[in-house]
């Protein structure tokens, strides 16, 4: 069972059973004594402090990392481990009880200051890894290089890595590359070709962290494992799809990178497009990565090329009227943004997927920095179906499963509040009458019969125990309509005649 609080926070520890299970499955592949080094290039940056270091800590805390692992930060900034820690600790959400373990984690961290475009810093990194090897009984060190860097330096850093920091054939080296992977088709192909010359394909990990988000991971299960949704997931039932990414903060010190990318390259063409393909693709042959990739590619191939008329862009400016602390700063108020920058911080695009499932359904991709609401909801405004696939039996079953049972509503005479009170008072006053008292009384009532057709049997769907809830009652009237009003009476010994009071035609 998942801990309750974990549902709300990735920082909460996993349950012991789950950790054991994950460790067991990892032990098959990992020798825990083998030395590993995880190098974060761009350790001084936003991604490193907000995501990479906190994630490494959570894995460490949950015993999901090899025992002999070291974390090396690398960047140009003049930093030390304590200053690095200052930057990332608050994102690690360390609980009081976890503090000793966090100190152990920090002991595993080191920092190397170095440039990206010269060999000197990389040679020092290599010496550092050599020293880890010596400390580990000379066992060869597995290396994982994480490029948490702006794309402008991917080429030089990967080249320096290849020239200075590779394994010696007795361990492995892997390189993780962040998005954006190039800024257009040409540069993306160039980057691919460049990396292919340096590393084997299985050494290169291109990462889109959105694919690791719970909401995104649940998409496939929701689409293909849900028997109610699956048949409705198409143009007959969905009018349009809006995939929306909004952040209530701006570039916050990252403008150096952001201004070279813009919101489209930063999140739209990767994160939002990944979500779009997951939403739109057909069921893959298996959950194997290649099969999923193939289905995503089919969606992309069926997508009409986006033209200028299909896209709106914008840039956030300061808003003096808003009290949000960040609203006083426009994008260009950031000193590292050129005064004439026209980099978009907001974009809305409409895409069309020309296939049988989605023909005619617009897919809107919307993303913005400083949009005052940090949510990325996926909204599928449903439209009235052109064809009804579900049978009424299925609908009845689903309603009942959800606690709404089909029942006849209680009839309640439509009387004024004054009369209601009078009736209640009379009933209370005579609550103790017995047979003898009632025998002296005549009972009368009127009834309405429709002349054409009937009012029919009305039903309501209501939860158990809510019979007398006013919302589920059915108001009745004794007068009006195309009908015949009759009156009758009885006492404890006989029945009176039936009197036709009114006939309405
Ligand atoms: N921030 C986030 O939440 C996410 C970011 N990413 C991706 O991660 C990568 C890094 O992003 P992020 O950490 O936000 O970026 P930052 O702007 O924070 O840059 C990271 C580090 O790179 C160095 N750097 C910055 N600009 C330059 C430059 N022009 N030339 C050389 N070095 C530079 C700086 O370190 P120093 O000067 O000390 O060397 C900086 O601390 C990007 O590719 C981004 O797309 C992906 C997912 C999420
Ligand atoms: O890739 C990026 O994603 C973050 C948003 O990621 P989240 O996991 O924090 O929602 C975004 O802020 C950043 O600009 C971008 O580079």
Q: Which of 352-356, 383-387, 473-477 has the lowest mean pLDDT?
A: 383-387
In tens, the pLDDT along 106-135 reads 999 999 999 999 999 999 999 999 999 999
At residue 376, does pLDDT exceed 50?
no
Residue nearest to atom 18 of ligand 1 (CA): 45
Give me the pLDDT at residue 381, please: 45
| CA quadruple 377, 383, 385, 386: dihedral sign | negative
- In the prediction, which pLDDT does 454 show? 55
178 in contact with ligand 2, CB cutoff 6 A: no
The rounded Å distance from CA 62 to ligand 1 centre is 28
Where does residue 376 rank: exposed (0-12), middle (13-18), buried (19+ CB within 10 A)? buried
Q: Are 245 and 368 in contact (CB under 8 A)?
A: yes
Count other C-beta atoms under 10 Å from residue 149's C-beta. 23
Q: Atom 23 in ligand 1: which residue has the minimum CA distance?
A: 42
Could you tell me what percent of the chain has a pLDDT over 90? 52
- In the numeric block, which tokens belong to residue 208? 């889109």
Give the separation between CA 156 and CA 300, rounded to whole angstroms.
31
- Atom 12 in ligand 2: residue holding the nearest Cα: 247
Ligand number nearest to the C-alpha of 10: 2
**Residue 217 CA, ligand 1 centroid: distance in Å:** 26
How high is the mean pLDDT of the chain? 85
For residue 40, pLDDT over 60 is answered with: yes
CB of 259 closer than 6 A to ligand 2? Answer: no
Residue 442 is predicted with a pLDDT of 85
Q: pTM of the entire structure?
A: 0.68
Distance 267 CA to ligand 2 centre (A): 7
Active site residue 479: no
Per-residue pLDDT tens over the stretch 81-104: 999 999 999 999 999 999 999 999
In this predicted structure, what is the pLDDT of residue 495? 83
CA of 101 to the centre of ligand 1 (A): 28
Specify the DSSP class assigned to residue 71: E
Residue 380 main-chain phi, psi, to 5 deg: -115, 85
- Pairing assessment for the beta strands 378-379 and 405-407 based on DSSP bridges: unpaired
Q: Which residues line ligand 1 (CB under 6 A)?
A: 42, 44-48, 50-51, 75-77, 116, 148-153, 178-180, 209, 254, 256-257, 266
DSSP string, 291-354: HHHHHHHHHHHHBPPP-GGGEEEE-----TT--SGGGG--GGGSTTS-TT----SEEEEEEEB-
Asked if residue 322 has pLDDT above 80, the reply is no
- Out of 40-44, 322-326, 367-371, 423-427, the most confident range is 40-44
Which ligand number lies closest to the CA of residue 157? 1
Whether the CB of 267 sits within 6 Å of ligand 2: yes
Residues 6+ apart with CB under 8 A from 58: 10, 11, 92
Confidence (pLDDT) at 377: 39
Specify the pLDDT at position 452. Answer: 47
Q: Which atom of ligand 1 is nearest to the CA of 261?
A: 45
What average pLDDT does this structure show over 17-21?
A: 77
Q: Identify the pLDDT of residue 7.
A: 45
Give the Å distance between the CA of 43 and the centre of ligand 1: 9
Residue 247 Cβ < 6 Å to ligand 2: yes
The pLDDT of residue 293: 93
Residue of 205, 207, 256, 270 best suited for mutating to test ligand 1, as the one with most atoms within 8 Å of CB: 256
The residues, any chain, with a CB within 8 Å of residue 483's CB and separated by 6 or more, are 448, 449, 450, 451, 504
Does residue 16 surpass a pLDDT of 60?
yes
Judged by average pLDDT, the poorest of 223-237, 276-290, 294-308, 370-384 is 370-384
Q: How far is the CA of 461 from the centre of ligand 1 (A)?
A: 56
Condensed to tens digits (0 to 9), the pLDDT of residues 131-165 reads 999 999 999 999 999 999 988 999 999 999 999 99
**Residue, of 27 and 125, whose pLDDT is higher:** 125
Separation of alpha carbons 122 and 498, rounded Å:
106
Catalytic residue chosen out of the listed positions 271, 324, 374, 430:
271
If DSSP codes are grouped into helix, strand and coil, which group holds residue 113?
strand
Q: What's the pLDDT band for 217 if we cut at 50, 70, 90?
A: confident
C-alpha distances out from residue 320 to 337, 369, 373, Å: 20, 17, 18
What percent of the chain shows pLDDT beyond 70? Answer: 86
Residue 110: its pLDDT value, please? 98
Instruction: Give the model's pLDDT for residue 276.
Output: 97
Distance 149 CA to ligand 1 centre (A): 4
392-407 confidence digits (pLDDT tens): 676 777 777 777 777 7
Mind listing the pLDDT tens digit for each residue in 277-289?
A: 999 999 999 988 8
Which pLDDT band, with edges at 50, 70 and 90, does 213 fall under? confident
Q: Does residue 379 carry a pLDDT above 50?
A: no
Query: How far is CA 339 from each of CA 13, 231, 445, rounded to the nearest angstrom?
Result: 45, 52, 86
pLDDT at 457 (0 to 100): 58
pLDDT for position 482 = 60
Task: Tell me which ligand sits closest to the C-alpha of residue 215.
Answer: 2
Per-residue confidence band for 494, with pLDDT thresholds at 50, 70 and 90: confident
CA distance 283 to 287: 9
Higher pLDDT, 52 or 466: 52
The bound ligand whose nearest atom lies closest to the alpha carbon of 53 is 1
């Amino acid at each position: 069972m998942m801990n309750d609080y974990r549902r709300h926070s990735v920082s909460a520890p996993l349950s012991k059973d789950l950790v054991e299970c994950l460790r067991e499955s990892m032990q098959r592949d990992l020798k825990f004594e083998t030395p590993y080094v995880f190098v974060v290039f761009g350790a001084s940056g936003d991604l490193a402090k907000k995501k990479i270091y906190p994630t490494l800590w959570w894995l460490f805390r949950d015993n999901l990392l090899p025992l002999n692992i070291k974390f090396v930060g690398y960047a140009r900034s003049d930093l030390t481990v304590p200053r690095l820690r200052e930057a990332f600790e608050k994102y690690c959400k360390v609980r009081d009880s976890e503090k000793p373990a966090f100190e152990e984690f920090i002991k595993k961290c080191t920092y190397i200051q170095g440039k990206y475009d010269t060999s000197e810093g990389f040679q020092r990194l290599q010496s550092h890894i050599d020293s880890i090897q010596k400390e580990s009984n000379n066992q060869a060190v597995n290396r994982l290089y994480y490029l948490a860097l702006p794309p402008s330096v991917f080429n030089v850093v990967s080249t320096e890595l290849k020239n200075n920091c590779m394994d010696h054939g007795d361990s492995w080296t892997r390189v993780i590359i962040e998005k954006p992977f190039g800024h257009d088709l040409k540069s993306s192909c160039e980057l691919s070709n460049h990396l292919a010359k340096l590393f084997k394909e299985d050494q290169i990990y291109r990462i889109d962290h959105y694919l690791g988000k719970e909401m995104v991971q649940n998409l496939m299960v929701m689409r293909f494992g849900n028997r109610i949704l699956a048949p409705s997931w198409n143009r007959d039932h969905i009018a349009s799809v809006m995939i929306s990414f909004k952040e209530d903060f701006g570039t916050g010190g990252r403008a150096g990178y952001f201004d070279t990318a813009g919101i489209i390259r930063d999140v739209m063409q990767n994160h939002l497009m990944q979500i779009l393909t997951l939403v739109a693709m057909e069921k893959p042959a298996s959950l194997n990565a290649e099969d999923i990739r193939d289905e995503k590619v089919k969606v992309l191939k069926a997508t009409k090329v986006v033209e200028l008329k299909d896209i709106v862009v914008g840039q956030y400016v300061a808003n003096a009227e808003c009290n949000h602390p960040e609203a006083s700063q426009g994008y260009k108020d950031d000193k590292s943004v050129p005064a004439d920058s026209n980099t978009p911080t907001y974009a809305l695009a409409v895409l069309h997927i020309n296939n049988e499932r989605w023909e005619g359904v617009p897919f809107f991709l919307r993303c913005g920095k400083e949009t005052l609401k940090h949510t990325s909801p996926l909204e599928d405004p449903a439209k009235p179906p052109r064809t009804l696939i579900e049978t009424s039996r299925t609908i009845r079953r689903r309603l009942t499963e959800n606690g709404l049972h089909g029942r006849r509503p209680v009839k309640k005479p439509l009387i004024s509040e004054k009369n209601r009170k009078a009736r209640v008072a009379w009933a209370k006053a005579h609550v103790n009458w017995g047979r003898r008292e009632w025998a002296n009384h005549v009972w009368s009532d009127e009834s309405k019969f429709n002349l054409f057709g009937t009012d029919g049997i009305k039903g309501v769907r209501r939860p158990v125990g809510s019979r007398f809830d006013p919302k589920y009652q059915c108001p009745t009237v004794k007068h009006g309509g195309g009908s015949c009003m009759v009156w009758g009476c009885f006492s404890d010994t006989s029945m009176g005649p039936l009197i036709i009071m009114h006939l309405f035609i």
